């Protein structure tokens, strides 16, 4: 029997995205027969490096065939090399740190990396005439690595881009905050309370209605994140299944979770070794086509979320 390690911060008190992940796991069990018949081992890593190491120790000892998860980059970074040494595929639905695929030769990322998110954010800012950006981040690895990638992208662009980083927010055209959802919400609330009317950019974890919760006038808010199921033609059938089950369209992170489990399902149907399939095959998944190049999904997509009037006013794919 196939064994799957399933790992994330599973408590909504830690992250509201836990609900999306768990619903994605549950729906995968309904949609994918090989996944349904597999033995599932769950571990709540608390989105921490310590929790990640504890999860990896359990999964490696149990001899799992693959691990789905370690949503937090802090957790995933602590264990990618351990899984590689054990020959266990680590499929990351939503951990964005670009260094993760370099750290583990058996690590495969479904979503866009923070390097790609940084490029798309800067391209949009330039197009929107927001040429001077002040950058901020929370202390999480996720936030710090995204901050690092933004700085690197600006430095490497040279004269090819008009976007520059400024240290004084008073000289900025927009502020950018890199970090987890709770910290992003706090940054938004504090800056609006202090009278800041500048456009504010946030990164993938902030893609949630909770970002602007409690704010009567959130102002111009952008989130550079991932598309949701309703935005993708390939995901319409699974979005309908999600709506029938939960009464609402699938939020961010559900589609990445479903895609991760679909890779396991498709490899099992073809009786392919999962590691070889992940390295060499192209898959048709609910998130669209997936093909890995050095652990990165060549087809990963980025979506711009634009908030207005206390709701998402628009989402558009960024290319």
250-286 per-position pLDDT tens digit: 998 999 999 999 999 999 888 778 999 999 999 999 8
Percentage of the chain modeled with pLDDT above 90: 80
Does residue 120 have a pLDDT over 70? yes
pLDDT value of position 307: 87
Q: Which residue's entry shows tokens 């798309």? A: 120
pLDDT band at 225 (very low <50, low <70, confident <90, very high): very high
Average pLDDT over every residue of 185-197: 96
pLDDT value of position 311: 66
- Mean pLDDT value across the chain: 93
The whole-angstrom separation of Cα 176 and Cα 150 is 10
Does residue 297 have a pLDDT over 90? yes
Q: What would the pLDDT profile of 24-42 be if each residue is shown by its tens digit?
A: 999 999 999 999 999 999 9
φ and ψ of 238, to 5 deg: -75, -30
The whole-angstrom separation of Cα 54 and Cα 48 is 10
DSSP assignment of 260-290 equals: HHHHHHHHHHTT--HHHHHHH-EEEETTEEE
Q: What would the pLDDT profile of 56-98 be if each residue is shown by its tens digit?
A: 999 999 999 999 999 888 999 999 999 999 999 999 999 999 9
φ and ψ of 318, to 5 deg: -105, 130
For residue 255, give both structure tokens. Answer: 């589609």
pLDDT value of position 209: 86
pLDDT value of position 290: 96
pLDDT value of position 309: 65
Among 1, 22, 5, 3, which residue's Cα sits nearest to residue 68? Answer: 5
The whole-angstrom separation of Cα 86 and Cα 130 is 46
Average pLDDT over every residue of 14-33: 92
pLDDT value of position 310: 65
pLDDT band at 14 (very low <50, low <70, confident <90, very high): confident
HEC profile of 48-91: CHHHHHHHHHHHHHHCCCEEEECCCHHHHHCCHHHHHHHCCCEE
φ and ψ of 82, to 5 deg: -65, -45
Does residue 230 have a pLDDT over 90? no
pLDDT value of position 313: 73
DSSP three-state, residue 299: coil
The whole-angstrom separation of Cα 145 and Cα 204 is 13
For residue 203, give both structure tokens. Answer: 């990164």
pLDDT band at 244 (very low <50, low <70, confident <90, very high): very high
User: Of 38-47, 69-78, 289-298, 307-316, where does mean pLDDT reach its minimum?
Assistant: 307-316
Average pLDDT over every residue of 156-169: 88
């Amino acid at each position: 029997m196939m064994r799957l390690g399933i790992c994330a911060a599973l408590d909504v008190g830690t992250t509201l995205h836990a609900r999306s992940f768990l619903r994605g796991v549950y729906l995968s069990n309904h949609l994918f027969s090989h996944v349904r018949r597999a033995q599932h081992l769950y571990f709540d890593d608390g989105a921490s490096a310590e929790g990640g190491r504890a999860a990896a120790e359990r999964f490696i000892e149990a001899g799992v065939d693959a691990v789905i998860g370690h949503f937090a980059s802090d957790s995933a970074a602590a264990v990618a090399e351990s899984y590689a040494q054990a020959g266990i595929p680590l499929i990351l639905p939503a951990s964005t740190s670009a260094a993760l695929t370099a750290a583990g030769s058996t690590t495969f990322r479904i979503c866009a990396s923070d390097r790609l998110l940084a490029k798309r954010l800067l391209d949009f800012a330039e197009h929107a005439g927001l040429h001077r950006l002040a950058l901020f981040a929370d202390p999480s690895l996720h936030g710090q690595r995204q901050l690092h990638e933004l700085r690197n992208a600006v430095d490497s662009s040279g004269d090819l881009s008009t976007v520059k980083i400024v240290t004084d927010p008073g000289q900025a055209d927009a502020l950018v905050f890199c970090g987890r959802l709770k910290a992003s919400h706090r940054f938004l609330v504090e800056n609006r309370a202090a009278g800041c009317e500048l456009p504010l950019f946030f990164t993938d974890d902030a893609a949630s209605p909770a970002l602007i919760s409690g704010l009567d006038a959130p102002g111009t808010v952008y989130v550079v994140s991932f598309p949701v199921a309703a935005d993708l033609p390939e995901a319409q059938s699974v979005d309908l299944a999600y709506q029938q089950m939960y009464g609402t369209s699938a939020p961010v992170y559900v589609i990445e979770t479903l895609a991760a489990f679909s890779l396991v399902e498709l490899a099992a149907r073809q009786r392919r070794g999962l590691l070889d399939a992940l390295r060499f095959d192209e898959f048709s998944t609910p998130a669209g086509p997936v093909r890995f190049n050095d652990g990165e999904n060549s087809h990963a997509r980025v979506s711009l979320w634009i908030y207005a009037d206390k709701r998402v006013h628009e989402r558009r794919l960024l290319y």
